[in-house]
Structure 1
Amino acid sequence: MASERENFNLFGPSYLTPMDWNNSHHRKSIAASLVQGVYTLECDRKQNRQGPQALAPAWWEFFNFGLTQVLVDDDDKSYFGAIYEFRFPYPYPNHIGQGPPRYVIAFRGTTNKSGNRTQDYKLNLQFIVNNLEKSPRFQAGMEAVRNTVHKANGPGNAWLAGHSTGSSIALLIGRNMVKMGMHLETYLFNSPFASPPIERIKNEKLKHGLRLANSVVTAGLAIAANGGHRPTPRENDPFIVLSTWIPYLFVNPSDPICSEYVGYFEHREKMEKMGVGKIGKISTQHSIGSIVSNARGKDSEPIHLLPSAYLTINLSPSEGFKEAHGIHQWWKPDLQFNYKLYQHK
């Protein structure tokens, strides 16, 4: 039996008529809808919904996209990603300002359903141990994105989008594309942060104290691993290379999976104001896990490494974890949010 949330006519942003590609809320809502299209594709597959019974097509056809490729997990044959192509003549005729992308590559997150748990939870474990780049889903997604960007005649005609663990895949792919000199417009919804959710603590002094202690410990370990010397920036330093890429990052402070991104950026600013910005920069560029891996001879970057971002924080009340972590919140017309650009210079 289909969930009502899979039905675009009941839960989708059908109020977006006409679509305004210069409107950031419209762009965000469309990106989120295309990610939901991947979730519904997988549900259609499992329930054998085909033809008129399929619910997934409405999630992209409403926005004039067509499905060009489904990304399939070789182990459980589940659908974890999709590539969409804008169906109107491209470039978009008579359009002033920002236009639609020619292609969107979208990735779903974990589905807690029979038949999906094994592979989805395995991917979650690879995220936790900072080994996501070794996963078949990341490798298949990376290849699909490279091929799509080539077909689109450049990264300016393609978007990346993902939710939950799918957001982590999109983040890693986006970072790799930047290192190849290509910046993709990227939408990251509820992207996991591999750290205790300090942001959920209500006591501001305690929260700041914990973050400060964590920064000092992480920076100290990074310096110790570097022979007692403060790591010096290099021209090819990942933090410097990635700083010009500014993805759109969407978090809910009531979601313990992604909420720490709020503190990740705010704490960096506070460290600068306190006059200890050097410690903040070192700790931001490292994690204890990545330091240990590098000490063992394994080149490793923190999974959360993100120097710059357009951060959107959902301030609307959420009824429980499922709503706080869900993709559906991001296209609500009455969404209350804070928005801020964090750019590393």
Structure 2
Amino acid sequence: MGTYDDFSVSGPTHMMGQPGSSPVHHCLPCKGTYVLESDHTNGTKLAPSWWESFHFRQLKVLSCACTCIFCKIHGSNARFICGVIFEYVPPDEARHHPSAPRYIVAFRGTMPKDPTIVGDLRLNLRVLLNMQQLCHRFCEAREFVEKLVTSNVDGDSSTIWLTGHSLGASIALDVGREMMMGEGINLPTFLFNPPHVSLAPVANKVGMSEEAKQDVHLGSYVVKHIMGKTILRPQKKHMEAVFEKLSPWVPELYVHQRDPICSGFIDYFELRKQHQEQCPRIAKSAATLAYRDLLHPCAVSGFGDKKGRQHLLPSARLWKNLGQDGDAHGLQQWWRSNLSLSSERYSWP
């Protein structure tokens, strides 16, 4: 525990009590979820200030059992807080703000100094390998949200928001995709520093010029386009159907160019747009495929890879932090008073 968990020291006190829809309102529930797990471990009570200051109350906690090898060996029944449902409660006699949700479901990311670190790292590896769909934390998160949506008396899915940071963004992204794919329910989704598995951060690290990146990316698109007409034809047809279903869903992605964990989304969308303008047929075909599809036997059969690729999104609004200082992957950057953002909406095809 440190001052970073203390709202009075590290929180956006300059915006206390202000309702509305901004990065602050979207990411604070994530921070509250982090601190709630820290409170659970350390016996402190710092978490409530992170949501009560903005007129939310804790409604329900999602706790997951640790499945790491150490807990299995010792027979531990330890459970960790992974997500929280918050309900918006306007101040006395105040009307519900039109841009405020009724519920926010927030998921935390990796906590290096918490006992949950082993389970978090194990799950990060599963995300890297695109093997997270059957993980208990992802499955329980989907059930968690499905029950909330089913019990929502007003029937308006736009009043239920999903939000997450880092690993938690992967969970929120998975839940949002599943709700749209399976139920046709479009939940507003806000993802802070969502992981994107690609070689783009490597290209940025070695100082590759923008022109060189465009050439490499275009060459990659051409190769994928050819594979989509040959060995990955079944997967291409499957993913085009997936993109059609997902396209009305427009998650909000908050990313930073200097963050290697999420910066791949910047190249994914910006270069995709350029290729759509230059060679639309190739871009439309290649955008639905990943080289890792070659590793899945079902992707080259007639069945398609039912899991899909979480980092392949047909639509999104990309928010880029233009700041040059601070922790590029940290959650705190999104409530700084001098936050400078640019945004653009991307669609498919």
Counterpart in the other structure of 2:53: 62
Asked if 1:37 is matched to 2:32, the reply is yes
1:138–1:169 CA contact under 8 A, matched in 2:
yes
Report the Cα offset of residue 218 of structure 1. Answer: 2.7
> Given the alignment, which residue of 198, 219, 222 partners 2:225?
219
Q: Assess if the C-alpha contact under 8 Å between 1:69 and 1:82 holds in 2.
A: yes
CA RMSD of aligned residues (A): 2.3
Paired residue for 1:256, among 256, 260, 270? 260
Q: Secondary structure at the match of 2:230?
A: helix
**Counterparts of 1:166 and 1:79, CA distance in 2:** 12
Q: Is the 8 A contact 2:103 2:160 kept in 1?
A: yes
Consecutive unaligned residues of structure 2, counting only runs of 5 or more, are: 67-77
Question: Which one of 183, 187, 197 corresponds to residue 186 of structure 2?
Answer: 183
After superposition, the Cα gap between the structure-2 partners of 1:94 and 1:64, relative to the gap in structure 1 and judged at 3 Å, is: closer
In the TM superposition, what is the alpha-carbon distance from 1:181 to its structure 2 partner? Answer: 1.2
Q: 2:247 matched to 1:240?
A: no
- The answer to whether the 8 A contact 1:81-1:106 is kept is yes
Q: Distance in 1 between matches of 2:122 and 2:286?
A: 28
Query: Alpha-carbon deviation of 1:283?
Result: 2.0
Contact kept in structure 1, 2:19 and 2:54, CA below 8 Å: no
Maintained 8 Å contact 2:161/2:187: yes
Cα distance change of structure 1 residues 91 and 19 upon mapping to structure 2, 3 Å threshold: same
Give me the TM-score of the superposition, normalised by structure 2. 0.87
Mapped contact 1:290–1:300 kept (Cα < 8 A)? no
Q: Are 2:332 and 1:328 equivalent residues in the alignment?
A: yes
Please list the CA deviations of residues 304-342 of structure 1 after superposition, one character each: whole Å capped at 9, or x if unmatched. Answer: 1211111110011134xxx10011111112111211111
CA distance in 1, matches of 2:96, 2:79: 42
- Tell me the distance in 2 between the aligned counterparts of 1:94 and 1:56: 24
Aligned partner of 1:9 in structure 2 is: 8
The equivalent of 2:300 in structure 1 is 295
Q: Given residue 13 of structure 2, which amino acid in structure 1 is its aligned partner? A: S
Is 1:161 equivalent to 2:143 in the alignment? no
- The answer for the alignment partner of 2:72 in structure 1 is none
In structure 2, the residue corresponding to 1:10 is in which secondary structure?
helix
Matches within 5 A, 1:195-234: 195-196=198-199, 197=201, 198-200=203-205, 201-226=207-232, 231=236
Q: TM-score scaled by structure 1?
A: 0.88
Secondary structure of 1:78's partner?
Answer: strand
Distance in 2, matches of 1:312 and 1:269, equals 16
Deviation at 1:113, TM superposition (A): 2.2
1:71 pairs with 2:78: no
Of 156-165 and 277-286, more deviation after overlay is shown by 277-286
Q: Is the 8 A contact 1:72 1:79 kept in 2?
A: yes
What displacement does 1:82 show?
0.8
Q: Deviations over 1:169-228 (max 9, x none)?
A: 10111011112111111100000001121345451122112212222233333332245x
Cα distance in 1 for partners of 2:284, 2:255 equals 22
Secondary structure of the structure 1 residue equivalent to 2:15? coil
Matches of residues 247-286 of structure 1 in structure 2 within 5 Å? 247-274=251-278, 276-286=279-289
Give the secondary structure class of the aligned counterpart of 2:308: coil
Percent identity for Structure 1 against Structure 2 = 32
> How far off its partner does 1:19 sit?
1.4
Contact 1:222-1:291 at 8 Å conserved across structures: no
Of residues 171, 174, 177, the one that matches 2:176 is: 174
For each residue in 1:65-108, what CA deviation from the matched residue of structure 2 results, as whole angstroms up to 9, or x when unmatched? 1111111121241111111111238997274xx33211110001
Q: How many residues get paired?
A: 328
User: Gaps (5+ residues) in structure 1?
Assistant: none
* Distance in 1 separating the partners of 2:235 and 2:152: 42
- Corresponding residue SS for 2:342: strand
Distance (whole Å) between structure 1 residues aligned to residue 173 and residue 312 of structure 2: 9
| 8 A Cα contact 1:251 1:314, kept in partner | yes
Aligned to 1:73, the other structure's residue is in SS state strand
For 2:308 and 2:114, locate their aligned partners in 1 and report how far apart those are by CA, in whole Å.
33
